[in-house]
A = this chain, B = another copy of it.
């Protein structure tokens, strides 16, 4: 093959359709014990009126910065604001099928964001119509965003197993019970409270005690719970594995 330079020297832009690069963000949070994704309502064609993942064109910036910018714009939270600092953002996958956008070829770099409960985006946002939607109600999205969302959810579920990412969904100080609720919401199944407790405390660097407790018990009763903050581990050893599901294996 020709290498990039010889290829570029003979490259004639008119021979190829123009091409654009965008970022799309799968932003996840937990509201009312349900895993929710940030969606925007499309005002223009194509897919007018349908919901889509927030996203936009990449400017003179890194891809990571573009994703951060889009997220800040859509949620209406200013960069530098404390809430956004705690958001975990990572690249998910790139989608570039020639026909994924009917107008022109668009290569979209999808990002995955994990956030603690954020304010409703409509207040003060650039985007008039952005809101959090429970993931099981997020269907029939524009473009190939159903696929993007599915990939994002699978990534999120897998990452809870072997990284301390669940701590990105809760406040700076949290109880083991709140952390367990994150796992239950993302995985969609309840966990054995006692075993979860034992496991979390036994993984080095996952959580560290603050020495304090909640000021009152749970809403429906129960004692005050000890408070923890995220530890310094980047990987969980041993991992917290999802309950085994044979059908996931093949």
A residues sitting closer than 8 Å to B (CB atoms) are 1-8, 11, 13, 16-22, 40, 42-46, 54-63, 70, 73-74, 91, 93-98, 103, 107, 109, 126-127, 204-205, 232-237, 244, 246, 248-250
Chain B residues, Cβ within 8 Å of A126: 1
Q: Which partner residue on chain B sits nearest A235 by CB separation?
A: B249
With A and B bound together, what is the CA distance between A98 and B3 in angstroms? 20
Closest CB in chain B relative to A126 CB, distance in Å: 5
Q: Which of B13, B98, B109, B234 contacts A94 (CB 8 A)?
A: B109
CB <8 Å contact, B5 and A45: yes
Q: Which partner residue on chain B sits nearest A91 by CB separation?
A: B93
Given contacts A5-B45, A17-B13, A205-B249, contact A96 B109 (CB under 8 A): yes
CB <8 Å contact, A19 and B16: no
CB <8 Å contact, A62 and B96: yes
CB <8 Å contact, A42 and B3: yes
* Identical copies in the complex: 2
With A and B bound together, what is the CA distance between A126 and B1 in angstroms? 5
CB <8 Å contact, A21 and B21: yes
Chain B residues, Cβ within 8 Å of A95: 63
Q: Which of B11, B43, B63, B107 contacts A21 (CB 8 A)?
A: B107
Closest CB in chain B relative to A155 CB, distance in Å: 13
The CB with the most chain B CB atoms within 10 A, among A1, A16, A55, A98, is that of A1
Closest CB in chain B relative to A22 CB, distance in Å: 7
The CB with the most chain B CB atoms within 10 A, among A40, A98, A232, A244, is that of A98
Q: Which partner residue on chain B sits nearest A6 by CB separation?
A: B44
Q: Which partner residue on chain B sits nearest A98 by CB separation?
A: B60
With A and B bound together, what is the CA distance between A63 and B74 in angstroms? 28
CB <8 Å contact, A44 and B97: no
The 5 closest A-B pairs by CB, nearest first: A5-B44, A1-B73, A63-B96, A94-B94, A1-B126
Q: Which of B2, B42, B96, B232 contacts A58 (CB 8 A)?
A: B96
CB <8 Å contact, B97 and A94: no
Q: Which partner residue on chain B sits nearest A97 by CB separation?
A: B62
Q: Which of B2, B16, B70, B233 contacts A11 (CB 8 A)?
A: B16
